[in-house]
Amino acid sequence: MSNGKPGVPVSFDKVQKSFGAVRVLEELNLAVKPGEFLVLLGASGSGKTTALRILSGLETATEGRVLIGDRDVTDVLPKYRDISMVFQSYALYPHKTVAENIGFPLKVRKVNPAEMEVAIREAAAQVQLGELLHRYPRELSGGQRQRVALARAIIRRPSVFLMDEPLSNLDAKLRGHMRAELKHMQESFGITTIYVTHDQIEAMTLAHRVAILEKGVLQQLATPVEIYNNPANLFVAQFIGSPPMNIVKGSLDGASFMAHGEKIASPVKGTIASAVLGVRPEDCSITAVGKGSLKGEVYATELIGDHTLVTVKLGGDFLTVKAAKDFTAKIREAIGISFLKDHIFVFEAESGKRIRK
């Protein structure tokens, strides 16, 4: 097996895609760095899979160009793009053994049988399948099947890996294990990887950078840390985070955010009649009534292990506070909530635009 190729850049240049009158991708401009692990993150219908299929050649862009390295591949057939794709469904040949499935790309290229056998064993060893080469897909677990699909993809050492929700059929424990495997493999190979998922945990743990799409529009492109700590707009702020960011509706009046009859010190100034305050659960704390920014009552508590999630009811709104693991309170107990001022975000309610200093 070859030692692989250095990572190559990938570019979407003003790429648009329409199916009839429906526009599913809006002028996507996206530059993926050589050797980067980039995750396309979004809900169903956001355009992320369409973007991946255009890059793979399975769909044609309505407008714009796609480049792999310095080569314009917009009109190039998939087999000439030097890519490997891993699907959610594994796409294994049921009548072929693990070894035959892994080696199939090399067989198509008429690689020498002795060289192919060495390559198969190397690829299988990298995904811990060395003892299972004689088995058939029906004899494997879901995680083992997915590793066969990965081995088949890596054996070619392509210029680019494309992965479409490859872990979504696995149970939670195995997903966690496979995330670590994928990250380690990608760092080892240095092959440019573009990975599609709707799962924010996968995006935050795997990616060098995350591209968040919504309704065909790129909302933000940044590192996971930047996206979490500095969301571009209300959509990104609510999409990333578990539990999600708390949202309080109100208005911005100078340096105060007005909500539920209370004044909350705002990190930004302005006058907005319909605004939204956002604050993450870990940036809230529970205080005595009258000591916090807002007052409410305990609606529920959930011991998670190293912390307790406290759901607080404020009128018709609910906020989640991440409290100490030994926190206890009675349902309907009156409490106050304080916010870390420097960790508060303010958005326009209608447009979702972030208000900055």
Can you give the pLDDT of all 357 residues of the chain as single tens digits?
344 456 899 999 999 999 999 999 999 999 999 999 999 999 999 999 999 999 999 999 999 999 999 999 999 999 899 998 887 777 889 999 999 999 998 988 888 999 999 999 988 988 888 889 999 999 998 888 888 988 888 888 889 999 998 888 777 877 888 888 888 888 888 899 999 999 999 999 999 999 999 999 999 999 999 999 999 999 999 999 989 999 999 999 999 999 988 999 999 999 999 999 999 999 999 999 888 889 999 999 999 999 999 999 998 889 999 999 999 999 999 999 999 888 999 999 999 999 998
- The CA distance from 82 to 85, in Å, is 10
> Is residue 166 reached through a cis peptide bond, with omega within 30 degrees of 0 on the bond before it?
no
Residues 6+ apart with CB under 8 A from 31: 9, 10, 11, 12
Question: What pLDDT is recorded for position 270?
Answer: 92
Max distance between CA atoms of the chain, in angstroms, equals 78
Question: What pLDDT is recorded for position 3?
Answer: 46
Write out the two tokens for 174: 């195995």
CB 183 within 8 A of CB 15: no
Residue with tokens 């690689």: 111
- The CA distance from 271 to 167, in Å, is 46
pTM of the complete model: 0.88
List, in order of start, the domains of the chain with CATH numbers.
10-239 (3.40.50.300), 246-355 (2.40.50.140)
Write out the two tokens for 82: 């030097």
Query: Under DSSP, is residue 97 helix (H, G, I), strand (E, B) or coil?
Result: coil
Question: What pLDDT is recorded for position 185?
Answer: 82
